[in-house]
Structure 1
Amino acid sequence: MSKETPCVAVCMIDPKTKLCFGCGRTLPEIARWHAMESADRVAIMALLPARMTEAGLAPIAGSPKRI
Structure 2
Amino acid sequence: MPAWADAGGNVVICVKNSGKFTTRYPTVEFQEAAHLDEGGIWPAPYALQEGSPAGEGKVAEVVKAAAS
Report the TM-score when normalising by structure 1.
0.32
Report the TM-score when normalising by structure 2.
0.32
Higher strand share: 2
- Which has the higher Rg, Structure 1 or Structure 2? 2
Higher helix share: 1
